[in-house]
Amino acid sequence: MIRFENVTRKYRSSAKPALEDISVEFNRGDFVFLIGASGSGKSTLLRMILREGLPQRGKVTVAGQNLVLMVERRVPHYRRSIGMVFQDFRLLPDKTVYENVAFAMRVIGAPRSAIKKQVMKTLERVALDHLARRYPHEISGGQQQRAAIARAIVNKPAIVLADEPTGNLDPAASEEVMKILRWINASGTTVVMATHDRAIVDAMGRRVVQLHRGRLVRDEAAGSYDPPEGSQAWELLAAEQEKTGLRASDPMPLLTEAVPVTGTDGGQHPAGHDDAPSAESPQQAPAREPAEREAEAGTSVLRRREYQVSFPEDDADAEPDAPRTDIKPSDLPDFDEQGELR
């Protein structure tokens, strides 16, 4: 359904490609986690699916349609088939929850009666129908993200792209968001989600595509956040961590271990744990080597591991309407090789 063929994308502000010789395919109904360090190319890849950028080399196709050949006036029509979810929600602050979701239907010219029915139905699905008349600043971050998801799916897109949708949420709100995305995927919608949240990736066990410095280094069918020992990604990250002065014997120390610290009470506590006393007062803190500071900063990701995140098979309360497991290319706008709408 989505195919990258030897794609390279460069920005004028950087000599190094944001994406370099990427070849990967996402099939209909896939749920894919896109992982990698900040700057690895995750957001660039998502933007290219949305056709917010074109490759300098290679080809991107969606449902058989070559995005490079698509003429500009057809791009808005194409994007109606894609729902986009962002880390920062991007809700209109002066519009209610209902109006934010309805906006996605108004821009495509849907009739008012259809808008009211579909918007309320979608808000019910994300458990926000009782907050339809609230403004974004009147609801929580998790509720804002659910409203953003409702806006993304109200037009029943074939593809949902999510760029770190849980990045600004606490674990409980993150789990609710993931349940909704999982439910969307169960209806046949392809979901591609960029994330740094290892707890969610590990809990769901879905396909994992890993980027590193603009290159594809791992594509695992049912993966975890950390690459398998001995894999290309494992060896690459091990070599880089050794160069930075971290322990070469454990290629993923920042991701898998809590480094004990001695608290003011004389006891040892896992770094990053909420009940760990401060090891040093600001006045007593000695100067630290860069590697020590990096190691200490890395343990902060362990806060997420204190929460149990699980997605049992029967946790989807409502069955989606009209399952879309047999999505066909005709579900997307049909363009010829010159980018003209057939």
CA 338/CA 318 separation, integer angstroms: 42
pLDDT value of position 242: 79
pLDDT value of position 57: 95
Question: Is 260 contained in some domain?
Answer: no
- CATH code assigned at 118: 3.40.50.300
Number of domains in the chain: 1
Question: Is 273 contained in some domain?
Answer: no
Question: Is 291 contained in some domain?
Answer: no
pLDDT value of position 54: 93
Angle at the Cα of 154 (from 150 to 158), degrees rounded to 5?
110
pLDDT value of position 245: 58
CA 191/CA 182 separation, integer angstroms: 9
Question: Is 144 contained in some domain?
Answer: yes
Question: Is 104 contained in some domain?
Answer: yes
Three-class secondary structure of residue 84 per DSSP: strand
What is the b/e burial string over 131-147, where b = at least 16 CB atoms within 10 angstroms of the residue's CB?
bbebbbeebeebbbbbb
pLDDT value of position 321: 46
pTM (two decimals):
0.71
Question: Is 245 contained in some domain?
Answer: no
Give the tokens for residue 115: 């808008």
Mean pLDDT by 10 residues, the chain (342 residues): 96 88 96 94 96 94 94 92 94 97 94 94 96 97 96 96 95 94 95 96 96 94 91 84 56 39 43 39 43 40 36 43 43 43 41
* Cβ proximity of 100 and 151 under 8 Å: yes
pLDDT value of position 338: 44
Among 284, 327, 312, which residue's Cα sits nearest to residue 182?
312
Sequence-ordered alpha helix ranges (H) in 214-307:
232-243, 253-256, 290-298
Q: Could you list the residue range(s) of the whole structural domain that residue 12 is in?
A: 2-228+309-331
Question: Is 265 contained in some domain?
Answer: no
pLDDT value of position 298: 39
Question: Is 247 contained in some domain?
Answer: no
User: Going by C-beta distance under 8 Å and a sequence separation of 6 or more, which residues neighbour residue 173?
Assistant: 140, 141, 142, 145, 166
* Cβ proximity of 175 and 156 under 8 Å: no
Among 323, 325, 330, 326, which residue's Cα sits nearest to residue 63?
330
